[in-house]
Amino acid sequence: MRIAEFLSPEAVIADMQSRTKPEVLRELSVTLVRAHPQLQEERLVEVLKEREKLGSTGIGEGVAIPHGKLSGMTQLQAAFGVSRAGVDFEAIDGKPTHLFFALVAPENSAGVHLKALARISRLFKNPRFRASILEAPTAADIHALIIQEDARP
């Protein structure tokens, strides 16, 4: 599985405007709907909020992977956003979060969902990669960096 299979260039935000966790979830949902019009914004926001109630998806090092499952979906979809200012996302390390990878999977897709989460988590463990994303000026540049890094063996 490659990230290119579920992250389209249209679903990348180079400079998020959100300042709070709920705003981040909304902005990522709006972007997902823009890239995939068959999705419903309110349902996406609710699914992501419900998952956050179980515990923050802020994994530390400035990265969060809000995620959830949605009935009626046929395949995994994602949105990615960069917050230059950083947001208090209640990350496990207590630091501001800058990189947000929202992942929404079909309701009965545990294996695919978990593989995608693991792949994203592994990719964003690399400090040089995280820095390159923060330095990238456009959504197209960010998308290209993610796809390029994900293609490495």
Pair 130, 115: CB distance under 8 Å: no
What three-state secondary structure class fits 45?
A: helix
Q: Which whole-number Å values give the CA distances from 87 to 24, 56, 137, in the listed order? A: 8, 13, 19
Residue tagged 């909020």 (tokens): 49
* 113 assigned to active site: no
Angle between helices 41-54 and 21-35 (to 10 degrees): 140
Of the residues 36, 67, 98, 113, which is catalytic?
Answer: 67
Supply the residues annotated as catalytic: 67
